[in-house]
Amino acid sequence: MRSDRAFRSSSEGVAVPSILAVESISKNYGSAPVLDGLKFEQRPGEFLSIVGPSGCGKSTLLRCIASLMQPNSGSVRHKGNTFAEPPSWLSIVFQDYSRALFPWLTVRQNVAFGLHHIGSRERDERVQAAVQAVNLTHAIDLYPWQLSGGMQQRCSLARSIVVRPELLLLDEPFASVDAQTRIDLQDLVIDLSRRMNLSTLLVTHDVEEAVYMSDRIVVLSTRPARVVEEITVDLPYPRDQLATKETPDFLRLRHQVYTLIRAQAKSNNN
């Protein structure tokens, strides 16, 4: 494991270099503003969630962070440095999982997609390990269309972690799977990101999911997106779908975030 990521988010007071600093970025599509001076930071190893109303610009934000598109102003920094092309320390699970897998590749080949520069021996081992980590070993030689939605999403996840990123971006990864699958995937992602000491940036519009999974939550406004509030979630680990969600702290945080979101929706209707 990398030594520079030994510290956890709770090491307050010490000047920790942020793994990701989003510095007042703005983005327009044509003349329509989508992001409006967004600003926040993510500490190494932190699980950060972004919640915001549907269509407010969350995917656009992730594409700017991943350098898939350039913001009109502002910058994105990694440990103080800017970058122009999608960097190798970053990986992303796209919103629309059924379209993001290569239909002509099996699970094994899909997962191996980003390992083109690595020898075949090590590649096989790493693919096996990643597929195992998301419990897809039994389906490793199937094509995407032979998988259920949840399995497709786990395949995307494996493809993203197999490259051993420092920062994992997840764009509403559990949006269109059934409730039970969703719960399983949430626990899987918490577990993976803690085991691999990943910094994870999760975009979601599900308040409960954000509170349950995160160390911190950034709440966005309606389009054009601005940061409305940042909320620290200090729920203890390991988290448990029943026990954690029944604690007063969880309920209080959920209430707080939900109120903010609802206020956004109201201000939008006026």
Ligand X SMILES: Nc1ncnc2c1ncn2[C@@H]1O[C@H](COP(=O)(O)OP(=O)(O)OP(=O)(O)O)[C@@H](O)[C@H]1O
Q: Which chain residues interact with ligand X by CB under 6 A?
A: 29, 34, 54-60, 95, 172, 205, 223
30 or 236: whose CB is closer to ligand X?
Answer: 30
Compute the least distance from the CB of residue 100 to other proteins, in Å.
Answer: 5
Q: How far apart are CA 42 and CA 9, in angstroms?
A: 9
Compute the least distance from the CB of residue 269 to ligand X, in Å.
Answer: 16
179-195 and 149-161 helices cross at what angle (nearest 10)? 10
Cβ contacts of 141 within 8 Å, gap of 6 or more: 106, 107, 108
Compute the least distance from the CB of residue 140 to other proteins, in Å.
Answer: 16
Q: How far apart are CA 178 and CA 103, in angstroms?
A: 22
Compute the least distance from the CB of residue 232 to other proteins, in Å.
Answer: 29
Q: In this structure, which long-range contacts are made by residues 226-230, counting pairs with CB atoms below 8 Å and at least 24 apart in sequence?
A: 226/36, 226/37, 226/38, 227/38, 227/39, 227/40, 228/260, 228/264, 229/260, 230/40
Candidates 14, 15, 120, 145: give the one binding other proteins (CB under 8 A): 145
Among 179, 246, 183, 247, smallest CA distance to 213 is for 183
Compute the least distance from the CB of residue 114 to other proteins, in Å.
Answer: 4
Q: Draw the binding track, 24-63, toward other proteins (x: CB under 8 A; -: no contact).
A: ---------------------------------------x
Compute the least distance from the CB of residue 154 to other proteins, in Å.
Answer: 16
Does residue 232 interact with other proteins by CB under 8 A? no
DSSP 102: -
Half-sphere exposure in the Cβ direction for 52 (13 Å, CA): 28
Phi, psi dihedrals of residue 251, rounded to the nearest 5°: -65, -40
100 or 134: whose CB is closer to other proteins?
Answer: 100
**Extended beta strands in 107-177, E state:** 167-171
163 or 260: whose CB is closer to ligand X?
Answer: 260
Candidates 113, 175, 206, 258: give the one binding other proteins (CB under 8 A): 113
Candidates 8, 23, 59, 106: give the one binding Mg ion (CB under 5 A): 59
Amino acid at 102: F
Q: State the residues that interact with other proteins by CB under 8 A.
A: 63, 66, 68, 85-86, 88, 90-92, 94, 96, 99-100, 102-105, 113-114, 116-117, 143-146, 159, 163
